[in-house]
């Protein structure tokens, strides 16, 4: 055999047995989704309606239930207040968004500890709780997180088990990045002051991108008051991104395009973005699924324009009662609603007075106390102090799991922590002011 023949033979062998291009056979990865509604109670109807709508979007777009985790209290669909039992809608005259929703974790299982374990794929920790399902994502997978509830500086609320703090969430995301538990992650957060969950906390180099309903020191807004159900059906930021996802071709529509349209149409608060902003060029379908991949796509939810009737989230209980008062038909009904309004006013005054007394008892003088009460835009940096103060306040003064109004006053603990007031001074003040009778004070609305 001549040299030329040998060379040709060896070339053929090399071609047959050569390693394939890894890019050709690379695992394209899967999409995993976590959807959380962090509240309970009929007046918070909108949060679970938002969460159910989000589920319908990813389900319609082909993401299988085994890769979707839903956490919600599940006390709305069959609530005695619901005029259409078993049906939940996300806009007036809207279609049902509750049917078919997987309810992996409900009631007292909807806690921040469980959420972090689920997100990080800690199946062992979730054994015997709910469905036990977790986000078992790997280095090639994409993760989409949608959270809807009340918030405050550096926290979002849950119906049980305390609050989710910003540093704990961001530590979990960074840990997942280090352990290669995702390729790309996108988070959509609906809550008051939700920007504080990521501002100066979410790194730009770990392939994580977040958008929030509000900046670090403003309210998000509820919308779509429904006369029949006597409550708000949605939240502005949430319905804007979901109604956008319902109508766009998500295979060509990018995260940045969705962000810009939501930012433009959410004119009630400042929609923000954080983390790796270069991810904005990615198509939305990489995180919410692609309806074109489904053989028989479900019918789209109606997007017929409806007036928002938006109100700041903290004012929802008051707005609901005012709507009910306007619609009241009998003197007895009107009197009952006025009593509820009075209870609501008294509860709010109690919270405000209690927090003021705590600040005055914790500080050295009236000048410092006044500064702490009147300053509302301090950046939270002392996370350990703040977490301890908030937990003590929730345990000894007002439960944040059942009463969202005290969340509006947590900024004073940010201020006290940043002014280096010892946590022992704060806890002593709370012991003195709160006693034991305040913990179960509810919202003042049925």
Strand, coil or helix: what is 340? helix
Distance CA 68, CA 135 (A): 8
- Half-sphere exposure of residue 204: CA atoms within 13 angstroms, side-chain side: 7
Tokens of 230: 């006597």
**How many residues comprise the chain?**
446
Distance CA 158, CA 73 (A): 9
Distance CA 289, CA 296 (A): 14
Tokens of 12: 């053929």
DSSP states of 10-37 as a string? HHHHHHHHSPPPTTTS-----EEEEEEE
**For residue 381, how many other CB atoms are within 10 A of its CB?**
13
Q: How, if at all, do strands 151-152 and 231-235 pair?
A: unpaired
Place of tokens 């006044």: 370
Catalytic residue among 53, 142, 150, 165: 150
Q: Is 150 a catalytic residue?
A: yes
Strand, coil or helix: what is 156? strand
Distance CA 249, CA 269 (A): 26
Tokens of 338: 């006025």
Strand, coil or helix: what is 348? helix
Q: What is the DSSP letter of 283?
A: B
Do the Cβ atoms of 279 and 209 come closer than 8 Å? yes
Q: Is 3 exposed, middle or buried (0-12, 13-18, 19+ CB in 10 A)?
A: exposed
Consecutive H or E run containing 224: strand 221-226
Tokens of 127: 């054994």
Catalytic residue among 192, 385, 397, 417: 192
Residues classed as catalytic = 150, 192
């Amino acid at each position: 055999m001549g040299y030329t023949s040998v060379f040709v033979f060896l070339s053929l062998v090399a071609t047959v047995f050569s390693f394939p291009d890894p890019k050709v056979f690379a695992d394209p990865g899967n999409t995993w989704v976590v959807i959380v509604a962090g509240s309970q109670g009929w007046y918070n109807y909108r949060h679970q309606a938002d969460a159910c709508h989000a589920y319908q979007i990813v389900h319609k777009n082909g993401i299988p239930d085994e890769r979707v985790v839903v956490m919600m209290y599940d006390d709305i669909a069959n609530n005695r207040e619901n005029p259409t039992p078993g049906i939940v809608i996300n806009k007036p005259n809207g279609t049902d968004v509750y049917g078919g929703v997987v309810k992996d974790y409900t009631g007292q299982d909807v806690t921040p500890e469980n959420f972090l374990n689920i997100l990080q794929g800690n199946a062992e920790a979730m054994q015997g709780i709910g469905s036990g399902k977790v986000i078992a994502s790997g280095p090639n997978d994409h993760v989409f997180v949608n959270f809807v509830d009340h918030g405050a500086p550096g926290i979002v609320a849950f119906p049980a088990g305390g609050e989710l703090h910003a540093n704990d969430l961001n530590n979990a995301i960074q840990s997942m990045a280090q352990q290669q538990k995702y390729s790309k992650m996108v988070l959509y957060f609906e809550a008051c002051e939700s920007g504080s969950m990521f501002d100066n906390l979410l790194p730009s180099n770990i392939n994580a991108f977040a958008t929030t309903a509000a900046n670090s020191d403003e309210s998000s807004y509820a919308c779509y008051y429904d006369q029949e159900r006597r409550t708000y059906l949605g939240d502005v930021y949430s319905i804007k991104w979901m109604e956008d996802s319902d109508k766009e071709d998500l295979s060509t529509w990018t995260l940045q395009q969705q962000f810009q349209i939501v930012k433009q149409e959410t004119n009630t608060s400042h929609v923000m973005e954080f983390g790796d902003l270069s991810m904005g060029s990615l198509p939305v379908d990489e995180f919410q699924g692609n309806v074109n991949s489904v053989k028989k796509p479900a019918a789209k939810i109606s997007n017929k324009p409806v007036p928002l009737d938006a109100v700041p989230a903290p004012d929802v209980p008051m707005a609901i009662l005012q709507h009910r008062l306007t619609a009241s038909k009998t003197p007895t009904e009107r009197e009952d609603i006025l009593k509820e309004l009075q209870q609501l006013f008294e509860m709010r005054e109690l919270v405000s007075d209690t927090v003021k007394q705590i600040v005055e008892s914790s500080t050295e003088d009236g000048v410092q106390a006044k500064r702490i009460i009147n300053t509302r835009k301090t950046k939270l940096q002392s996370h350990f102090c703040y977490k301890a103060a908030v937990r003590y306040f929730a345990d000894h003064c007002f439960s944040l799991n059942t009463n969202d109004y005290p969340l509006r006053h947590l900024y004073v603990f940010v201020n006290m922590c940043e002014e280096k007031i010892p946590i022992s001074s704060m806890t002593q003040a709370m012991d003195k002011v709160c006693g034991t009778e305040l913990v179960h004070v509810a919202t003042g609305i049925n």
